[in-house]
Amino acid sequence: MLLKLLIIGALLYAIYRFFGGRILADKRDSIDSNDNSQDSETLVECSECSTYVVKKDAIYYRGKWYCSQECLSKA
Ligand SMILES: [Zn+2]
């Protein structure tokens, strides 16, 4: 009888650890803190002169990227 209780207890503990661990892992995965900082470092190609510029310095116009106002006016 005591052995049965120990087995049931061990099983319940294993189930608790399994689901508890999964819930904690899901919470950790959902945190994406450095998403915005990565985006500003992304290089984009100017559709006019094919120069690669950092996304934050590039100009986005009508679905295309431009390195400068000059290239934008040429397009
Ligand atoms: Zn350009």
Tell me whether strands 43-45 and 52-54 are parallel, antiparallel or unpaired.
Answer: antiparallel
pLDDT at 17: 86
As a dihedral over the C-alpha atoms of residue 41, residue 43, residue 44, residue 48, rounded to 10 degrees, the angle is: 120
Q: Average pLDDT, stretch 32-36?
A: 53
Distance CA 49, CA 42 (A): 18
44 Cα: distance to centroid of ligand 1 (angstroms)? 10
Q: Give the span between the Cα atoms of 43 and 17, in whole angstroms.
A: 44
CA 75 / ligand 1 centre spacing (Å):
10
* pLDDT > 60? residue 13: yes
Instruction: State the distance from the centre of ligand 1 to the C-alpha of 39, rounded, in angstroms.
Output: 20
pLDDT of residue 1: 78
Q: Ligand 1 centroid to 62 CA: how many Å?
A: 15
User: Which of residues 18 and 58 earns the better pLDDT score?
Assistant: 58
Report pTM: 0.48
Ligand 1 centroid vs 11 CA: distance in angstroms?
A: 65
The C-alpha atoms of residue 37 and residue 6 are separated, in whole angstroms, by 51
**Average pLDDT, integer, range 25-41:** 60
| Residue boundaries of the structural domains of the chain | 1-31, 35-75
